[in-house]
Chain A
Amino acid sequence: MAKDEEFDVIIIGGGPNGMTTAAYLAKSGLSVCVLEERTECGGACETVSPIAGARIYPHAMLMYASPAPGFDQLELHRYGFRMEWDPADLIEQSQGGLGCSDGWRDITPKDQEGWAKLGGMLGQPPFSKELMRATFWCPPHPADIEVSDENTPYMQVYRKYQPDIWTPELREMTMFDLLDEHCETEHFKTAMAFAAWASGAAGHWEGVAVPAALCVQLLTLPNMGRTSLPRGGLHGYFHAILRCAVHHGAQIRTQCPVDEILIDDGRAVGVRLRETAASGGLTMRAKKAVIAAVDVHQAFLDLVGPKHLDPGVIQKLKDISLKNGTLYVSTFHTKQPLRFNSKYEKGACNAKRVGPDRQPAAGIFPCDSRELYYENVADVDGRKGQPTISPEHAMWFHTPSQAFDPTDCQGSYPRGYISAAFEMNVTSPDLHKEGEDAPDLHKEATDRFMRDSFSQMLDGLDDDNVIHHWSATGREVEFRNTGLIGGTWCGSRHDEDQLWTNRPIPELARYRTPIEGLYHAHQTSGHPGGLCLMAIPYNLMHILIEDGVAEPGAWWYASPYYIPEEGKISAFMR
């Protein structure tokens, strides 16, 4: 038998978090191997071409990562990273109003001002980048440090730059509370809260007002006036990360699923591949660390296995809540382009039509009031089954991202028209009261429900006009990408019990695990959670430096809000 291969670090999972970790570690001079189950890396940062020339994004679409230190630490521009934008976009969009059941309603100056202020745009100088970094790009504090108003990074930033936002209640609020204080109209608040529900922490969750508001801000403010779309989609951005890792010597092995993390005397020493792996069921050794960049349930319950964990931890792992909604994504191929119906045609400003075909970019709909929002939340996370809400009340959003990329089919598809993606939150398969296969059994009905809902605002979704309705249930998503447990977009709820020093459970909050040499770096397991932010890897780097695993070069800088753990090497280094 061939001798086991040996690397300094083995990373399980080639999604954005695994790959960014690989890039950081390879750039630090370590020998790194990434093992990816699928034949293509990228995880949920992927692009799919269901028919020739049509490109759809089944999961991630929009760029939230702009403030990431990774852009300069990893120098992604040297690996082809580009953004794509239409300068007319967001400015016009924000002037375009929000879709409500009685038509478009304006966003007022007070809404805009309050929102800009929360995002740090009105400071002198504007401090958005620092605020975002403090909130997302900083590892949770060590367990022995009590989290306080004084040491919470975003609290420090507000106090320094915008003291009138700082209140002792800020850390306890919901995002709705915060919006009530700073913004004006109900439809604006509802829309932002809904955007938060689909981007991170939701508008109604306790104690996460700031992370919830800021994850939406990540999308808007730092890219003010620009579409948040990297050229080539988020998979294009992912390519830059992957190529950085490869350039620095990381080995990428696709189609190499890991079946087991090898543990010897309480220490992770390597992995064993599944038998169908392209290289067969080999074992591989890791000298310094194994990093699980796959979902937290799989990582601990399957790959590590219960025999290495105590029952208390196992129960907590099982209880990690996935209620962050499964985003049901629909993209349409139609004979004639979609159009606003007569009610919305009037008043749909120019920015609501995108691409050469001037197809609609509807935004969030319907944004009438928070009652509507709660009705949706109760249906998805409360009743936990097929939608019982009426199609008129179901909230969805229609992201314009693809419509701007002229290399894209959305720019010109010679055989009909490809729409931008529609997304709606639905119950996750794992929570579905009829069982995890129910979403598949009801797929036809769900698709129809979706079309009925979207038709409240848009014409062209009738059977005669639709050639393809591409969608995937949460269950299908789970098969497609094992990283997306429950088909949820971020895998585990970003609420106060599962964020920051509590993510995913306090015992695992600093990316370390009860097993020496084993770290985790997946959206489901580490702060700040979902989105392709390069945040978990950056945060994890602090810990790997503390443990002496990584010694990055002069390009490295730690978060200014990071607190080193007693007795460890400080990630401030110099």
Chain B
Amino acid sequence: MPAGAGVEPERPNMPNFKYESKFRYDPNDPFGHMQEEFPDESEFDVVIIGAGPNGLIAGAYLAKAGLSVAICERRFEVGGGLATEENLFPCYASNPHVLYHMMVDYMPALRDFDLEQPSLTWIKPNAQTGMVFEDGSSLLLARQVQDTKDSISKFSYKDANSFGRAVRDWKRMVHDIIGPATYIPPLPPIEMTMAMQRTPLGERMMEIGEESPIDIITSTFEDERVRTLMLYASCMWGLDPRESGLGFMVPLMLDRTMNKCYCYGGSHKFAGALAREFVKHGGLILDAAAVESILIEDGRAAGVRIAHEGRTLRSKVVMSTLDPHTTFLDMVGADNLPAELRQDIEGWSWDKWSFNTLHVAANEPPRYAADDPWIDKCFATVLGIESVDQLLAHWDSVVDGRLDLDSFGGHSTCESLLDPTLSDRPGKYVSMFQIHAPYDLEGGWIDRHDEVMQAMLAKWRKAAPNMGPESIVASTMEDPGEIEIRFPQMRRGSIKHGEYTPLQMGSFRPTQDCSATDTPIEGLYTCGASTFPGGLVLGGPGYIGAGRVADDLGIDRWWKPTPEMERYIKDYLEE
């Protein structure tokens, strides 16, 4: 044989992981395989469960820190909620989960990593959220404050000015406090109060915190429609409008609603870039690998076992980004938990409502019957809701497991307006219309799927008359049950892995013991949406978890806090 042939290739020394290669090709074994596979037993410093935004971010920081890290992902594709799928098959893709990226301005991961610049691009349109009413009037929340004020002034000068004033303060709260605090382990309530007392802004924020969203909105605005939009924008991610204690989330949600971004190419692009950053630094991704259990040895986490394929990944640290029930009760096992932890975890409550989303491909983008042409350009458009009472009634019925198909509303987005590449057929537009919806719908989703879909199409068409059968070429609807099918960690369709209530937020998320990502079980960390600061693509839990694991393993953090974080630490936390 000529030179080179059959020579055993040299194995370059790579940092990823330790294993013993048992592979040998045996031509005489008809059952033998020709190619080597990922080993049955392997050893890492860190194993992360779930390749959603948090798992990927945690992995990227730790791999770059020189640790050997594996991420196990149940699906065939990484990203978790950062999904872009051809759900209008064939030819039209859409974002079934994350569409609005709220924290692009603050997320440290976007600054600490290069993430394939210049091809990962964020779009932050000025026309952010519109609201249309039956009589053709409309309201606009724009990125540029003055545009919002101009729009509000159609209904109330006073509200326009109140908005300007309130937003000045709210923006600072977000910029100086809430934004940076998203990426720093939470303080217990008393310490938090003391920290906030250091500045007047902090004190005002604590005051707001004691109020309920509806109180904040009604005391700030007088006009019914303005209130309706503000309440929708504040609570659309799951704040209880009547509950006090999380009022500081109102400034955050409103500010972020005016500053959300679209990821050009679809949200999955962000996931792809994070994943490649992770792999570049030696990280290993196992997809189509559902973790079945977390190995517990001598009371500490020692690795994971993969379902269906008998593979074990051993590690010093296991980080779970899943919901608390899956992590603790199913994977660690209720019997392995300290009694108090078990009790806390069993008391975890799921999101009170979920999303039901209609996706369509059409010949045109929706054109709303509205008095302001900017509405057609809005990133998001709220429709079907006329008043605060109607909104509250809608949300109440959803919490009760009902959908009043005569009186409901939601928000819609035409993704193709921002991104012509989602549709592979020229001249077509992909749009979605999303409503809050119960997981346990009265009558059942399977039986009522079509009925709800027709009602949504009718509702949408009423607001945007061109969204009819003559324009729509494909449509599909994903209900809360299907969210859970795609993502079992979003139990009962919980988009945030668990509800936002004062007892499940801050240093209580998921429990007081676990909110800084480490847990009472040595070697086990929890850093998904159910850990402080919570759900949505904040990138907080993963970032905080990476820091904690690096510290606990005695590894230098190669990253530094962002300038906003540094200022916050200096102003509020340092002795």
> A282: which B residues are within 8 A, CB to CB?
118
Minimum CB distance partner of B85 in chain A: A49
- B5 A557 Cβ-Cβ under 8 A: yes
Not counting A50-B89, A414-B485, a sample of 17 additional A-B residue pairs whose C-beta atoms are within 8 angstroms of each other reads A52-B482, A52-B485, A55-B76, A79-B284, A80-B287, A225-B30, A232-B287, A236-B76, A253-B116, A279-B121, A407-B76, A413-B485, A471-B90, A472-B90, A479-B425, A555-B12, A558-B2
- In the complex, whether A388 has a CB less than 8 A from a CB of chain B is no
Interface residues of A in 42-100 (CB under 8 A from B): 47-53, 55-56, 58, 66-68, 71-73, 75-84, 87
> A557: which B residues are within 8 A, CB to CB?
4-7, 9
Given contacts A58-B90, A81-B37, A129-B25, contact A276 B288 (CB under 8 A): no
- A50 B38 Cβ-Cβ under 8 A: no
- B27 A224 Cβ-Cβ under 8 A: no
Chain B nearest CB from A311 CB (Å) reads 30
Interface residues of B in 192-219 (CB under 8 A from A): none
- B4 A572 Cβ-Cβ under 8 A: yes
- In the complex, whether B77 has a CB less than 8 A from a CB of chain A is yes
- A415 B309 Cβ-Cβ under 8 A: no
Most chain B beta-carbon contacts within 10 A, residue among A52, A53, A66, A82: A52
B-side interface residues toward A, CB under 8 Å?
Answer: 1-7, 9-12, 14, 16, 23, 25, 27-28, 30-31, 33-39, 74, 76-77, 84-91, 93, 96, 116, 118-121, 264-266, 268-269, 272, 276, 279-280, 282, 284-290, 307-309, 311, 420-422, 424-425, 446, 476, 478, 481-483, 485-486
- B14 A247 Cβ-Cβ under 8 A: yes
> B483: which A residues are within 8 A, CB to CB?
52
> B269: which A residues are within 8 A, CB to CB?
39, 254-255, 278
Q: Which 8 A-B pairs have the closest CB atoms?
A: A232-B288, A71-B35, A52-B486, A53-B485, A52-B482, A555-B9, A472-B90, A50-B89
- A48 B9 Cβ-Cβ under 8 A: no
- In the complex, whether A374 has a CB less than 8 A from a CB of chain B is no
> A166: which B residues are within 8 A, CB to CB?
none
Give the secondary structure class of A's interface.
loop
- A407 B307 Cβ-Cβ under 8 A: yes
CA distance A547 to B485 in the complex (A): 52
CA distance A232 to B14 in the complex (A): 24
- B309 A71 Cβ-Cβ under 8 A: no
Chain B nearest CB from A66 CB (Å) reads 4
Of the candidate stretches A102-110, A119-127, A501-509, the one touching chain B is A119-127
A sample of 24 cross-chain residue pairs with beta-carbon separation below 8 angstroms, ordered by A number, consists of: A39-B265, A52-B482, A52-B485, A66-B35, A71-B34, A77-B38, A78-B14, A82-B38, A82-B309, A82-B311, A83-B33, A236-B288, A243-B279, A246-B279, A249-B280, A251-B116, A252-B276, A406-B308, A407-B288, A472-B90, A553-B10, A553-B12, A556-B9, A572-B3
Chain A nearest CB from B55 CB (Å) reads 15
Interface residues of A in 400-420 (CB under 8 A from B): 405-408, 413-415
- B30 A224 Cβ-Cβ under 8 A: yes
- In the complex, whether A560 has a CB less than 8 A from a CB of chain B is yes
CA distance A27 to B311 in the complex (A): 28
Minimum CB distance partner of A56 in chain B: B89
Chain A nearest CB from B64 CB (Å) reads 13
- A80 B33 Cβ-Cβ under 8 A: no
- A52 B478 Cβ-Cβ under 8 A: yes
CA distance A375 to B2 in the complex (A): 46
CA distance A408 to B289 in the complex (A): 11
> B84: which A residues are within 8 A, CB to CB?
39-40
CA distance A281 to B21 in the complex (A): 46
- B76 A243 Cβ-Cβ under 8 A: no
- A572 B2 Cβ-Cβ under 8 A: yes
Given contacts A48-B86, A80-B284, A252-B276, contact A480 B27 (CB under 8 A): no
Mark A334-352 against chain B: 1 for CB-CB distance below 8 A, else 0.
Answer: 0000000000000000000
- B35 A76 Cβ-Cβ under 8 A: yes
Chain B nearest CB from A37 CB (Å) reads 8
Chain A nearest CB from B37 CB (Å) reads 5
- B287 A66 Cβ-Cβ under 8 A: no
- A415 B33 Cβ-Cβ under 8 A: no
A-side interface residues toward B, CB under 8 Å?
Answer: 2, 38-40, 47-53, 55-56, 58, 66-68, 71-73, 75-84, 87, 121, 125-129, 222-226, 231-233, 235-236, 239, 243, 246-247, 249, 251-256, 276-280, 282, 405-408, 413-415, 470-472, 476-477, 479-480, 553-560, 562, 572-574
CA distance A113 to B85 in the complex (A): 45
> A413: which B residues are within 8 A, CB to CB?
485
Most chain A beta-carbon contacts within 10 A, residue among B12, B85, B119, B290: B119
Could you say which of B38, B276, B425 contacts A81, with CB atoms under 8 Å apart? Answer: B38
- A77 B37 Cβ-Cβ under 8 A: yes
Chain B nearest CB from A419 CB (Å) reads 15
Given contacts A553-B10, A557-B9, contact A278 B120 (CB under 8 A): yes
Chain B nearest CB from A16 CB (Å) reads 15
- A77 B27 Cβ-Cβ under 8 A: no
CA distance A479 to B422 in the complex (A): 12
CA distance A335 to B424 in the complex (A): 30
- B485 A226 Cβ-Cβ under 8 A: no
- A472 B119 Cβ-Cβ under 8 A: no
> B288: which A residues are within 8 A, CB to CB?
231-233, 236, 405, 407-408
Chain B nearest CB from A563 CB (Å) reads 10
Chain A nearest CB from B4 CB (Å) reads 4
CA distance A49 to B285 in the complex (A): 20
Most chain A beta-carbon contacts within 10 A, residue among B25, B30, B446: B30
CA distance A428 to B30 in the complex (A): 38
CA distance A222 to B31 in the complex (A): 8
Given contacts A80-B285, A232-B288, contact A39 B11 (CB under 8 A): no
Given contacts A49-B87, A51-B87, contact A125 B119 (CB under 8 A): no
Chain B nearest CB from A289 CB (Å) reads 21
Given contacts A71-B35, A232-B288, contact A254 B272 (CB under 8 A): yes
Most chain A beta-carbon contacts within 10 A, residue among B33, B88, B89: B89
Minimum CB distance partner of A63 in chain B: B35
- A48 B85 Cβ-Cβ under 8 A: yes
- A39 B93 Cβ-Cβ under 8 A: yes
Most chain A beta-carbon contacts within 10 A, residue among B2, B266, B268: B2
CA distance A235 to B272 in the complex (A): 14
Most chain A beta-carbon contacts within 10 A, residue among B34, B74, B481: B34
CA distance A129 to B27 in the complex (A): 8
CA distance A298 to B307 in the complex (A): 44
- A479 B35 Cβ-Cβ under 8 A: no
CA distance A50 to B486 in the complex (A): 11
Minimum CB distance partner of A414 in chain B: B485
CA distance A80 to B121 in the complex (A): 29
CA distance A47 to B446 in the complex (A): 25
- A235 B87 Cβ-Cβ under 8 A: no
CA distance A76 to B16 in the complex (A): 13
> A574: which B residues are within 8 A, CB to CB?
3-4
Chain A nearest CB from B150 CB (Å) reads 32
Given contacts A39-B84, A77-B37, A82-B309, contact A47 B31 (CB under 8 A): no
Chain A nearest CB from B326 CB (Å) reads 16
CA distance A419 to B476 in the complex (A): 20
Chain A nearest CB from B266 CB (Å) reads 5
Minimum CB distance partner of A233 in chain B: B76
- B27 A128 Cβ-Cβ under 8 A: yes
CA distance A557 to B2 in the complex (A): 10
- B10 A480 Cβ-Cβ under 8 A: no
> B33: which A residues are within 8 A, CB to CB?
66, 83, 222-223, 226
- B478 A72 Cβ-Cβ under 8 A: no
CA distance A556 to B6 in the complex (A): 10
CA distance A557 to B3 in the complex (A): 8
- B9 A73 Cβ-Cβ under 8 A: yes
Minimum CB distance partner of B311 in chain A: A82
Chain B nearest CB from A133 CB (Å) reads 9
Given contacts A254-B269, A555-B10, A560-B2, contact A82 B87 (CB under 8 A): no
